Amino acid sequence: MVSDTVTDVLDGSDVSELLAELRRRGPLVQCITNSVVTGFTANALLALGAAPAMVDNLEEATVFAGIADAVLINVGTINPAVGETMVATAQAAGAAGTPWVLDPVAVGGLPLRDRVATELVPLRPTVIRGNASEVISLAGLDGGGRGVDSTAGVEAALEPARSLCARTGGAVAVSGPVDHIITADDVRTVSNGTPMMTKVTGVGCALGAITAAFTACASPADAAFAATAVWTIAAEVAIERASGPGTFAVEILDALHALGSEQLARLTR
C-alpha cells in the first residue's frame, strides 16, 4: 500500500528559486502534443520563460530530441504515424539523456493510444502527468475514465502511480482538486488552482509542457511540484481578473508571465 505520509520538501521560496533558474536558462522544450492545444501550449511555455519547439515529424523529431533540453509527449490526438514518432522520439531522448514527460491523455479503453502508451512507459519517462483515471489505466487498471475527464478519485490513483514510479524511476503527477506528486518513497501535494482550469481546453496539456521545462533544471519530483505550483498559482491570479473561460485563457498566460517570488512565497500551499 502507498504510505499516507505526505512530505513537503519544497516551499514557495524553493519554487521561486527554481522558476528563476528556469527563466535564466530558457530551456528548449520539444513538444509532440495534440493538435487542439498546440498554440496555447507554445504560448504557455513562452510566458513561463522557456522556448517551445513543435517538432513532431519522424524525420526531425528524433534528431531534435538530442538537441532539446526537454521533451513533452502528449497522446491527445494520436494517429498511427504520430504514435510511431512518439515512440522513436522517446527512445532518442533516452539515448541522449534528455528528460521527457508523458501526458497519457484519455488512455484507457482506446486501442491506439493504449498500445502506444504501453510502449512508452518502459522507455522511462521522467515524469508522467495525468488525471486519476489516466494514471490508473496506464498502470494497467480500470479507472473508469471518460475521455479526458476523470471519474476516479486521486486517492485511488496513488498505488497505481507508485507502481509506475517503480517502472520508470521517475515521478507521477496526478491532477485533481488537490494535486499529488508521487515518487518511489514520498507523496507531495499542491492545493492551489481554480475550477475554471477545467473549462478551458489545453490548460492541463500546458501543464505537461511546463513540467517538461522544469525537468531541464530540477529532479523529477521537484520539477513536477514546481510546475504544478507555478501553473495553479497563475490560475488563481488569473481568476481574479477573468470574467469567464475566454478571458481566463488570456489572463492565465499574463499571470504566468508576471509571476514573481512574492506571489509564490505567499500563495504556494
Annotated binding residues for substrate, written as ranges, equal 54, 202
Tell me the DSSP string of 59-84.
HHHHHHTTTSSEEEEE-TT--HHHHH
- Rounded Cα distance between 242 and 56, Å, is 33
Contact partners, residue 33, CB within 8 Å, separation at least 6? 41, 54, 56, 72, 73, 74, 76, 103, 205, 208, 209
Evaluate whether 99 touches 215 at the Cβ level (below 8 Å): yes
Q: Are 164 and 172 in contact (CB under 8 A)?
A: yes
- Answer yes or no: are the C-beta atoms of 75 and 51 closer than 8 Å: no
User: Cβ distance 221 to 181 under 8 Å?
Assistant: yes
Measured CA to CA in angstroms, residue 184 lies from 9, 131, 172 at distances of 14, 19, 9
Residues in binding site: 54, 129, 175, 202
- State the pairing for strand pair 171-175/127-131: parallel
Quote the distance between the C-alpha of residue 98 and its chain's center.
16
Residue 32 contacts residue 82 (beta carbons within 8 Å): yes
Alpha-carbon distance of 269 to 266, in angstroms, equals 9
What is the SS3 assignment for 131? strand
Q: Which residues are annotated binding-site positions for ATP?
A: 129, 175
